[in-house]
């Protein structure tokens, strides 16, 4: 059974429609990549899954997104609960201006965990999982902003998985990073796949090809093609997909 | 020519010169202001020598040289212009004026008599002259300068100790008794108006009347003790011969400090200078504020600024939080924002009038009717006071805090908020844990600006609680310790009062400069503290770039 | 034709790759023709020339390989472009093998020229025409991305196989009749085998063309599907 089922999702900014009847199944403990040109709605769709679009005025979403069977778009749903289950890593690494330790402990503290020992354990485990423990273990109480860009992003991943979400959304997580840092994040995604369902939006098609199991190609707010990544990147079915992945666009 | 000028213009150099020039001009103006204030202020307490001048007509003068200037005579050529000198001759009670202008041409002799004495007095300003005799109970006990001066120095500290004791009894002990008396009287009044049960009322009344009787008895004791002390001090008197032969006899206790300015070493002068500075900062004012210290004014200013900050920061921050974080952005919010910005431009006296009308009369009057009806018609909160002045200033400076806070709130990156929300934090948690800490340096900047603005305001204070001389500080040993309903003194108002309302403007001039410098210094100190705190926070919050 | 590539350099390189394959195909086709002419007309000079020209075929094979490597390394091709490059890599190997076959035919022809002719050649030139036309058509299919044509090529392979079997029996008959003819008949049998191999390579190319266009693998399926 898929972890996330997206059915007939339409999204409107005021009167302007940005997503058109999206149908998509996101498999449990798989990496699903959304690709497509800028403005195609892939980030918007991603933000529907943790209702971060609610922050924008005049947004209306119709259709259904079910997370492990529960309706995400239900207006009575407590979005903070949802967001604890659906973590998110952003395009620009956004560590808080706090210590490394406090960054990772932020989510657990919100969840109400207060015991020092528990927090210590969660912080260490999360940093381990995010493959940054070795680099920061001696300076957990230094300001997080002093780390490098790649470390920032891994710290943000650690912060996200510290609350043990079911799904991790990644919105172009490597677009601000150099190739080495990008490779580390991609390795990390492979690791995280063992435990988490990952949805990644990326501009970098090769990245989608490298890290994902399934890829969705979106264009002008519509889901053009969705399928196994190797299939989509070698023998896509739609001409638009073919043109996009081979770089014949615009 | 044209081409090269065009190029010069395009290169931006003229603009750089213009901006640099504007900055330099502002700096020059500010620095010269500070230099003028400092130069006039700092020299005032330096003990100058006393010069004895003999004039053509035989008149003798003893005094401190203040300033020399050419006599403005338009028709004479520059070379023959005569000059004149201003001396501070003091001895206001003998001569009627502290200062005297003398044409330099009239001076036949100058000398610096070693025995010339400078007495600083509790009343009537300084006294310059020569000590002739010291008397005890009307009998001469020392005669001639050397012996009289020795005797004076022996007796003077004792009289000052007695005087201090007198002050303590008057201020503290009798003050306490009066406070308790007032309390008891008000209690009596309250019982008469409130207590319905006549039996119980009678019981209370008896108890209170008994208490009042005890207090009055204690008062009488203290009054007797006072009289003894006064009598003790009255025994010692001394005789001074002023320049020109006039003599003046007065009690030793009337002198604050006496010294021989013409015999002082540099070190001695310096010590005296420091003593006088300390006195200025820590003592109460004398002689309708023109002498003595300004401690109550410093205290009033600082406390008022602190109370104002405590009021204005939470208010401003909360208002800004609502405007920026919660309110739906639209024409309504924009209008509110414009209104807030405009509020900063309303003349401060208008705020003063509002403070008087709303805080003092409406709020204060209401509090009086509710909680202090027994004291009426004497108002408790229904008159100007520390609290209302602080509130008025808080109102005056709240736009500054709102604008600064909004500015810093909007500078918090969206990524931080989204990051926090995406972790399941509520909006309030995000604001409390991410947004507010991040905005704190900006909020403190707003507070600094508000403090600077508030500390420098005078006009609204004049009608909401500042007085030229407050008998008590707003902080004392009587519960509840902070008496925010009391009137208070303020450095800014002190400057105005000393400089323009004083009967002896000439003598008060240096005081104006001293007070100005002190006010600038205090504002600087408050701001520096806030700036240091802010920079600490900022360093903790933002280092590294990203 | 698909829309042009956004990256002009990439587009150019892909075109050059196609052109190289075609050049190679044309050359190989000519090699087969010349080889057969040299056999039929017993022209040893022409045979020598064909053998000498095989270098050019080998050179083109290497050139195509290098182009493909470059494209893979620099442009991370995907989809259609990736399939074109994969196809090119395979096609160039097939063409190179076909070139080798032509060379082998010439070698056999030189040997045959040293002996009197066994018989007038009928079936062999026919078979050569078949093989050549299959090769040409598979290359046409490659150029035009014509899967129908490619499928036809695949389906014709059986006919060539049958012709090979016929020749085998004919040659066996010669050998039984005259032991003197064994060496010549064997050589002709070799040539028949070469031509059969050429047809096989042409089939491979056609199959790759289908993969290139449709992304479907029909290799190692027999008989070939009726349609794709």
Say whether both B316 and B388 belong to one domain: yes
Q: Are C157 and C203 in contact (CB under 8 A)?
A: yes
The pLDDT tens digits for C134-169 are: 999 999 999 999 999 999 999 888 888 898 999 999
- Answer whether the bond into residue B480 is a cis peptide, omega within 30°: yes
Residue B71 belongs to a domain: yes
B437 contact residues in A (CB cutoff 8 A): 97
Are residues B222 and B358 part of one domain? Answer: no
| pLDDT attached to residue C1 | 52
Kindly give, in sequence order, each residue whose CB lies less than 8 Å from that of residue B228, ignoring residues fewer than 6 positions away. Answer: none
- In this structure, the answer to whether residues B138 and B126 fall within a common structural domain is no
Set of chain A residues whose Cβ sits within 8 Å of the Cβ of C81: 246-247
When the pLDDT of each residue in chain C is averaged and rounded to a whole number, the result is 90
Q: Which of B418, B424, B542 sits opposite A145 (nearest CB)?
A: B542
Q: What percent of chain C has pLDDT over 70?
A: 98
How far apart CA A209 and CA A200 sit, in angstroms, is 11
Is A90 close to B413, i.e. CB distance below 8 A? no
Whether B501 is covered by a domain: the verdict is yes
Query: Do residues C189 and C175 touch, judged by C-beta distance below 8 A?
Result: no
The answer to whether B300 and B386 have CB atoms below 8 angstroms apart is yes
Of C79, C214, C216, the CB nearest to A245: C79
Measured CA to CA in angstroms, residue B415 lies from A174, B411, B412, B419 at distances of 15, 11, 8, 6
How many angstroms separate the CA atoms of C116 and C111, rounded? 11
Q: Looking at beta carbons, which residues of chain B come within 8 Å of A110?
A: 423-425, 429
Among C34, C33, C25, residue whose Cα is nearest residue C141: C25
Contact A83 B419 (CB under 8 A): no
- Structure tokens of C41? 């007309």
The minimum CA-CA distance between C169 and chain A, rounded to whole Å, is 45
Check residue B545 and give its pLDDT.
Answer: 34
pLDDT range class, residue C198, cuts 50, 70, 90: very high
- Going by the DSSP 8-state scheme, the letter that residue B136 receives in this structure is E
Instruction: Identify the pLDDT of residue C196.
Output: 93
Residues of chain A found within 8 Å of residue B433, distances taken between Cβ atoms: 106
| Position B262 in a domain | no
CATH code at B468? 1.10.3720.10
Picking from B111, B130, B149, the residue at the C-terminal end of a domain is B130
Same domain, yes or no: B123 and B219: no
Q: For residue B370, what are its two tokens?
A: 């509710």
- Residues of chain C with C-beta less than 8 angstroms from the C-beta of A248: 2-6
Q: For residue B19, is it within any domain?
A: no
Query: Pick from B191, B225, B255: which residue ends a domain?
Result: B255
The Cα–Cα gap between B306 and B311 comes to 9
d(CA C220, CA C224): 8
Q: What is the domain range of residue B506?
A: 295-541
Residue B300 sits in the same domain as residue B344: yes
Tell whether the model's pLDDT for residue C35 goes beyond 90: yes
The pLDDT value recorded for residue C89 is 94
Q: What pLDDT is recorded for position B79?
A: 65
Q: For the segment B477-528, what is each residue's pLDDT rounded down to a tens digit?
A: 676 777 777 888 888 888 888 888 877 777 778 888 888 888 888 888 888 8
Q: Are residues B384 and B507 in the same domain?
A: yes
Q: Please tell me which chains touch A, using 3 or more CB pairs under 8 Å as the contact test.
A: B, C
Report yes or no on B326 lying in a domain: yes
The structural domains of chain A, ordered by start, are 4-245 (3.40.50.300)
Domain C8-214 has CATH 3.30.1300.10: no
Q: Specify the pLDDT at position B544.
A: 37
The residues spanned by each domain of chain C are 8-214
Same domain, B64 and B142: no
Answer yes or no: do C80 and A242 touch at CB < 8 A: yes
Ranges under pLDDT 50 in chain A: none
Verify that B533 and B392 share a domain, yes or no.
yes
Clarify whether residues B419 and B519 are in a common domain: yes
In this complex, the residue of B423, B433, B434 whose CB is nearest that of residue A163 is B423
Total domains in chain B come to: 3
Q: Give the pairing of strands A167-171 and A197-201.
A: parallel
Task: Determine the distance from the C-alpha atom of residue C226 to the mean position of all C-alpha atoms in its chain, rounded to a whole number.
Answer: 22
A111, B423 Cβ separation under 8 angstroms: no
Same domain, B122 and B144: no
Dihedral over alpha carbons B251, B254, B256, B258 (to 10 degrees): -40
The answer, yes or no, to whether residue B546 has pLDDT greater than 50, is no
Q: Please check whether residue B40 lies inside any domain of the structure.
A: no
Give yes or no for a contact between B66 and B77, defined as CB atoms under 8 angstroms apart: no
How high is the mean pLDDT of chain B? 84
Residue among C6, C79, C216 minimizing CB distance to A242: C79
Q: Mutation test of the interface with chain B: which of A84, A96, A158, A164, choosing the one with the most B Cβ atoms within 10 A?
A: A96
Q: What is the pLDDT of residues A8-55, one digit of tens each?
A: 999 999 889 999 999 999 999 999 999 998 888 899 999 999 998 888
Q: Which residues of chain A have a CB within 8 Å of the CB of B328?
A: 57
Q: What is the pLDDT at residue B191?
A: 78
Residue B131 pLDDT > 90 = no
Residues B191 and B82 in one domain: no
Task: List, in order, residues 6 or more apart from A131 with CB less than 8 Å away.
Answer: A154, A184, A187, A188, A191
Q: Is C77 an 8 Å CB contact of chain A?
A: yes
The residue among B130, B145, B171 that closes a domain is B130
Measuring CA to CA, which residue among C134, C133, C125, C130 is closest to residue C105? C125
- Same domain (yes/no): B144, B204: yes
């Amino acid at each position: 059974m898929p972890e996330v089922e997206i059915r007939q999702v339409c999204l409107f900014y005021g009167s302007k429609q940005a997503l058109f009847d999206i149908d998509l199944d996101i498999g449990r403990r798989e990496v699903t990549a959304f690709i497509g040109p800028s403005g195609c709605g892939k980030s918007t769709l991603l933000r529907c899954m943790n209702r971060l679009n609610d922050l924008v005025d005049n947004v209306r979403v119709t259709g259904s997104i079910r997370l492990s069977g529960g309706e995400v778009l239900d207006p009575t749903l407590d979005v903070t609960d949802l967001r604890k289950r659906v973590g998110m890593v952003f395009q620009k690494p956004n560590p808080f201006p706090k210590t490394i330790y406090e960054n990772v402990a932020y989510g657990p503290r919100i969840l109400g965990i207060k015991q020092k020992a528990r927090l210590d354990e969660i912080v260490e485990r999360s940093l381990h999982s995010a493959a940054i423990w070795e680099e920061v273990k001696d300076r957990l109480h230094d300001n997080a902003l002093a780390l490098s860009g790649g470390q920032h992003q891994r710290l943000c991943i650690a912060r996200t998985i510290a609350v043990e979400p079911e799904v991790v959304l990644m919105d172009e997580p490597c677009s601000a990073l150099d190739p080495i840092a990008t490779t580390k994040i991609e390795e990390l995604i492979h690791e995280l796949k063992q435990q988490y369902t990952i949805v990644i939006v990326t501009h970098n098609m090769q990245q989608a090809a490298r890290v994902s199991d399934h890829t969705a190609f979106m264009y002008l707010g519509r889901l053009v093609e969705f399928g196994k990544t190797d299939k989509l990147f070698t023998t896509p079915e739609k001409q638009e997909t073919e043109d996009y992945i081979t770089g014949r666009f615009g | 020519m044209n081409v090269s000028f065009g190029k010069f213009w395009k290169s931006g150099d003229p603009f750089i010169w213009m901006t640099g020039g504007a900055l330099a001009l502002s700096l020059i103006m500010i620095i010269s202001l500070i230099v003028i204030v400092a130069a006039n202020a700092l020299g005032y307490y330096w003990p100058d020598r006393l010069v004895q001048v003999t004039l053509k007509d035989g008149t003798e003068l003893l005094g401190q040289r203040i300033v020399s200037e050419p006599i403005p005579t338009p028709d004479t050529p520059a070379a023959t212009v005569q000059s004149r000198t201003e001396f501070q001759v003091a001895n206001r009670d003998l001569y009627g004026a502290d200062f005297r202008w003398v044409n330099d041409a009239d001076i036949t002799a100058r000398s610096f008599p070693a025995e010339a004495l400078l007495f600083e007095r509790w009343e009537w300003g300084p006294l310059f002259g020569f000590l002739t005799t010291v008397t005890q109970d009307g009998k001469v006990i020392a005669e001639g300068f050397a012996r009289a001066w020795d005797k004076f120095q022996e007796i003077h500290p004792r009289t000052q100790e007695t005087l201090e004791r007198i002050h303590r009894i008057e201020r503290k002990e009798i003050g306490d008794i009066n406070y308790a008396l007032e309390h008891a009287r008000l209690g009596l009044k309250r019982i008469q108006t409130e207590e319905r049960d006549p039996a119980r009322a009678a019981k209370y009344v008896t108890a209170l009347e008994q208490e009042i009787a005890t207090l009055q008895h204690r008062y009488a004791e203290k009054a007797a003790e006072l009289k003894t002390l006064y009598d003790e001090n009255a025994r010692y008197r001394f005789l001074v011969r002023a320049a020109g032969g006039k003599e003046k006899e007065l009690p030793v206790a009337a002198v604050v400090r006496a010294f021989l300015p013409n015999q002082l070493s540099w070190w001695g002068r310096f010590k005296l200078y420091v003593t006088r500075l300390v006195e200025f900062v820590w003592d109460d004012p004398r002689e309708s504020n023109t002498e003595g210290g300004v401690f109550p004014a410093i205290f009033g200013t600082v406390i008022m600024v602190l109370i104002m900050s405590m009021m204005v920061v939470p208010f401003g921050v909360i208002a800004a939080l609502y405007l920026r974080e919660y309110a739906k952005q639209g024409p309504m919010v924009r209008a509110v924002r414009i209104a807030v910005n405009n509020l900063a431009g309303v003349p401060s006296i208008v705020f003063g009038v509002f403070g008087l009308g709303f805080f003092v009369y409406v709020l204060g009057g209401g509090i009086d009717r509710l909680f202090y009806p027994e004291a009426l018609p004497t108002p408790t909160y229904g008159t100007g006071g520390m609290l209302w002045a602080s509130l008025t200033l808080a109102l005056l400076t709240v736009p500054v805090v709102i604008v600064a806070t909004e500015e810093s709130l909007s500078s918090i990156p969206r990524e931080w908020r989204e990051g926090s929300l995406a972790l399941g934090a509520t909006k309030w948690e995000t604001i409390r844990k991410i947004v507010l800490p991040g905005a704190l340096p900006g909020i403190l900047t707003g507070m600094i600006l508000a403090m600077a603005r508030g500390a420098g305001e005078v006009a609204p204070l004049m009608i909401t609680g500042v007085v030229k001389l407050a008998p008590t500080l707003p902080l004392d040993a009587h519960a509840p310790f902070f008496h925010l309903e009391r009137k208070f003194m303020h450095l800014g108002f002190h400057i105005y009062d000393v400089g323009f309302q004083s009967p002896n403007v000439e003598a008060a001039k240096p005081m104006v400069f001293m007070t100005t410098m002190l006010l600038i210094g205090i504002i600087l100190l408050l701001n520096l503290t806030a700036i240091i705190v802010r920079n600490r926070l900022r360093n903790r919050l933002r280092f590294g770039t990203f | 034709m698909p829309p042009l590539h956004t990256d002009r350099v990439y587009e150019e390189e892909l075109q050059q790759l196609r052109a190289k394959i075609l050049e190679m195909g044309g050359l190989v086709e000519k090699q087969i023709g010349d080889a057969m002419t040299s056999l039929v007309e017993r022209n040893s000079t022409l045979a020598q020339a064909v053998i000498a020209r095989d270098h050019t075929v080998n050179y083109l094979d290497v050139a195509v390989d290098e182009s493909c490597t470059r494209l893979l390394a620099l442009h991370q091709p995907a989809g259609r472009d990736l399939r074109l490059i994969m196809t090119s890599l395979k096609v160039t190997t097939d063409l190179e093998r076909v070139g080798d076959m032509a060379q082998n035919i010439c070698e056999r022809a030189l040997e045959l020229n040293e002996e009197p002719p066994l018989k007038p050649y009928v079936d062999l030139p026919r078979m050569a025409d078949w093989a050549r036309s299959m090769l040409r058509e598979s290359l046409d299919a490659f150029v035009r991305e014509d899967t129908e044509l490619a499928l036809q090529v695949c389906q014709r392979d059986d006919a060539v196989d049958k012709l090979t079997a016929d020749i085998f029996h004919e040659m066996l008959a010669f050998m039984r009749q005259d032991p003197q003819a064994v060496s010549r008949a064997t050589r002709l049998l070799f040539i028949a085998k070469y031509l059969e191999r050429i047809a096989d390579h042409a089939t491979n190319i056609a199959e790759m063309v289908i993969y290139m266009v449709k992304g479907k693998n029909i290799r190692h399926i027999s008989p070939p599907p009726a349609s794709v």
